[in-house]
Chain A
């Protein structure tokens, strides 16, 4: 089942902050975050593996709650280059070949204006 992202779209001015949420009805093994700019391929941002984990990538960071059912991506002091569609992805559950199954949320469109 697809993870649920919110909001679907965000419009910001440069310097403003945004939070994108990703939730699942079941505990996740790990959660991935990607950004896709228009006309380009998705680009990996970060992965979170442990409940309670927080990870940063320049001014972009993410958290994974203790129950591993929700992750949030934080974009602070946004720049024009942050514009794009952000996807979270969940890895399939325990055992077997399902570790290769990475299911994406529907995406959040982030637009940063000058």
Chain B
């Protein structure tokens, strides 16, 4: 998995609470991504980062924010969790020389009740 870990691996939270998911990579990859995966949908890009403090929105960014203060860490925050954000979240990273070859973490299963 290219040395990518995600924490927590499972989380149950209540509607309206803030949630932060963490992604940590040890490959010194410059690019990092957050996706969500839902039945009937492919992986959908939430936010991405091309370096420290360089982030941008993906296809489904509403309700999410990200931060990247160190190369190895990329945080995804759900500002006020809703039931529609129940999903499996995947983090990925890629080397700047091969930005289209992404290496994924094991995923975080988030349930919002």
Please say whether chains A and B are actual partners in one complex: no
Give me the interface of B with A, judged by CB distance under 8 Å.
Answer: none
